[in-house]
Structure 1
Amino acid sequence: MAITPLDWPVVRQLRTGDYLGRGKSVQSKRTREIEPRTSTADRVVQSVCPYCAVGCGQRVFVKDEKVVQIEGDKDSPISRGRLCPKGAASEQLVNSPSRQKQVLYRAPGASDWRPIDRDEAIDMVADRFMASRAAGWQEHDEQGRRLRRTMGIAALGGATLDNEENYLIKKLFTAAGAIQIENQARV
């Protein structure tokens, strides 16, 4: 079908009375036929944005067990349906083709990363944590006062963790004798 001057957007605006060009007169046929990804979802799951400690509500649209869209949750008293740019782009966090799905390890002096088993990685972290704790342990100070602390480990919590996760990290590091415990939310 040939396009005539009557099909031009400006002419359509004048013909339909859409003088500001905000209505259907400026939409192409393709735009009118686009269907939102949210309408094809099998289910909607309520969630919380993973990026900061604010806790904005999210609606996660799932189709065939794959996240297809994430939007702000209008029922959230915190965000009332709004998301910051990072929260609005969190679907990319889930579906990015460059997302790492395995634990990678680079040995000291090595130039390449290699995949390792998750349990092996956890054991490596635990062994190094305990070795650093022991190497930096201070039982008493110079005056003989009891300290029972370590300067060999420290914790810096991130704003992407929720309050419960930061609470548990604080408890873990305090129990291990660390005194250098901070959270990004306070920095």
Structure 2
Amino acid sequence: MARLTFLDWPVLRQLRGADPTGRGTAVTSATTRGMIPRTATADGVADSVCPYCAVGCGQRVFHKDGKVIQIEGNPDSPVSRGRLCPKGAASQQLANSYLRQTTVRYRRPFATEWEDLELETAMDMIADRFIASRRKYWEDEDEHGRPLKRTMGIASLGGATIDNEENYLIKKFFTAAGAIQVENQARI
């Protein structure tokens, strides 16, 4: 690194240069002038939606070498018009946190330790329990013989960041399964 001389002091650069007000090149160092935004080196960008609340702000997710390097508001989003709240702006930390769980974790009844499961195994366990609960708590008719065709053993609480089509499919699925307790975080 080159050694600074007396003439390199910012005040002197400002007074003898083309920036007497000190609002441009006079106040920037060589290091600052050499910096480029990290989005310029990204391999690509993907449009996404913020995962935190029901607003659904648009995000632009910049990635490089399979890792998220920057998340910004999407100016093309009619919801947020390129703006993100502090939580949404920090969502890169959610994607890159060393604390983030990337495997299915399961703790057996009365166990004290968690274990990793294969995704297929976990999905089979959920499906088996869903079907068993539906069978166990199925109500075909009430005490007066009126048809009910419902189960009180299954409920759904959906997240607010899924889109209308996903919510529609979830509602159709749970209704077809006989569940009547279908809720969503956005409504609660």
Same fold by TM-score greater than 0.5: yes
| One-letter amino acid matched to 2:71 | I
The 1:139–1:17 alpha-carbon spacing in structure 2 relative to 1, beyond 3 Å, is same
Which residue number in structure 2 is paired with residue 171 of structure 1? 172
Matched residue pairs, number?
Answer: 182
**Equivalent residues in 2 for 1:114-125, closer than 5 Å:** 114-125=115-126
Supply the distance in 1 between the matched residues of 2:24 and 2:80 (Cα, whole angstroms).
29
Corresponding position of 2:137:
136
Instruction: Tell me how far 1:45 sits from its aligned partner.
Output: 2.3
SS in 2 for 1:168: helix
CA distance in 1, matches of 2:163, 2:13: 50
Q: Distance in 2 between matches of 1:90 and 1:45?
A: 14
**Does structure 1 residue 82 correspond to structure 2 residue 83?**
yes
Q: Name the counterpart of 2:146.
A: 145
Aligned pair in 2 of structure 1 residues 172, 3: CA closer, same or farther (>3 Å)? farther
**1:17 is matched with which residue?**
21
Name 1:7's counterpart in structure 2: 9
Q: Distance in 1 between matches of 2:64 and 2:179?
A: 45
Letter aligned with residue 107 of structure 1: R
RMSD: 2.4
**Do the aligned partners of 2:48 and 2:60 also contact (CA within 8 Å) in 1?**
yes
Unmatched tracts of structure 2, length 5 or more: none
| Mean Cα deviation higher: 88-97 or 28-37 | 28-37
1:91 maps to what in 2?
92
Letter in 1 for 2:149: R
Per the alignment, residue 160 of structure 2 pairs with 159
The one-letter code of the counterpart of 1:126 is A
Deviations 1:51-95 (A, max 9, x none): 334332222212223221111111222211111222212222222
Q: Contact 2:151 / 2:179 at 8 angstroms: preserved in 1?
A: yes
**Partner AA of 1:99 in structure 2:** R
Partner of 2:44: 43
Q: Specify whether residues 12 and 61 from structure 1 end up closer, same or farther in structure 2 by C-alpha distance, changes over 3 A only.
A: farther
Contact 1:51/1:161 (8 A) holds in 2: no
Q: TM-score, normalised by structure 1?
A: 0.84
Q: Supply the AA of the counterpart residue of 1:148.
A: K
* 2:174 partner amino acid: F
What residue identity is the alignment partner of 2:110? G
Distance 2:176 2:108 in 1: 29
**Matched AA of 2:105:** L
Which residue number in structure 2 is paired with residue 60 of structure 1? Answer: 61
Per the TM alignment, residue 179 of structure 1 is displaced from its structure 2 partner at its CA by: 0.8
Cα distance in 2 for residues equivalent to 1:3 and 1:148: 86
C-alpha distance in 2 between matches for 1:131 and 1:175: 16
Distance apart, 1:37 and its partner CA: 0.6
